[in-house]
Amino acid sequence: MSCQTLPHERHMDHQHGMAGTDGELRIVAFLCNWCSYAGADKAGSSQLPVPPEVSVIRVMCSGRVEPTLILEAFQKGADGVMVLACHPGDCHYKQGNLRAFCRAELLERMLPQLGIDQARFCFDYVSAAEAEKFSQLTGDFTEQVRRLTIHRETGLKD
Ligand code: FES
């Protein structure tokens, strides 16, 4: 899959896992070019807070994000993975976001069997106009994943 990224983004390194210092939280966000990526861009230009732990991967449609890509991100060290799509009815490729939603539901059910907490995965819809939603979602998800990671490392239960 061909991905374009924002200039400040970190990238997944296919040989050495994800970039970043050890102990640093790593969130991978697959964003649809036509909606969520534009929402993220607007969040940036509006100077809304977006956690620096979020690494954006731009895709042409959420329907292009195969479950294997999500699992690969986890396998390479992501602490959390987001897939943000166009709202239902707004997908430029008709049903890409519907496919992505169905896959996300299946993947969520599989994750515990792979030893991955479902709360480390997020599928949602963000339009080009929803910069505030993008900021809120990435902030909330990052904090949720941070809590899970701290609990895992310290052996605490939720
Ligand atoms: S074009 Fe945005 S989810 Fe398909």
pLDDT of residue 13: 37
* Helix then strand then coil, % of the chain, to nearest 5: 45, 20, 40
- Report yes or no on 1 lying in a domain: no
Query: What is the rounded (10 degree) CA torsion for 104, 138, 149, 151?
Result: -100
Residue 29 sits in a domain whose CATH number is 3.40.50.960
Question: Ligand 1 mean position to 156 CA, how many Å?
Answer: 39
Question: What CA–CA distance (Å, rounded) separates 73 from 68?
Answer: 9
Question: Ligand 1 mean position to 152 CA, how many Å?
Answer: 34
- Report yes or no on 80 lying in a domain: yes
- Tokens for 27, please give them: 């969130």
Please state, rounded to an integer, the average pLDDT across all residues of the chain. 87
Q: How many helices (H) and strands (E) does the chain have?
A: 4, 6
What does 62-86 look like in DSSP terms, one character per residue?
A: GGG--HHHHHHHHHTT-SEEEEEEP
Question: What CA–CA distance (Å, rounded) separates 76 from 15?
Answer: 9
pLDDT band at 33 (very low <50, low <70, confident <90, very high): very high
Residues in a beta bridge with 13: 17
- Report yes or no on 78 lying in a domain: yes
- Report yes or no on 13 lying in a domain: no
Q: Is the pLDDT assigned to residue 61 strictly greater than 70?
A: yes
Question: Ligand 1 mean position to 154 CA, how many Å?
Answer: 39
Reported as a single tens digit per residue, the pLDDT across 101-117 is: 999 999 999 999 999 99
| Reported pTM | 0.84
Q: Is the pLDDT assigned to residue 27 strictly greater than 90?
A: yes
Domain hosting 123: range is: 23-152
Q: Is 33 in the pocket of ligand 1 (CB under 6 A)?
A: no
Domain count of the fold of the chain: 1
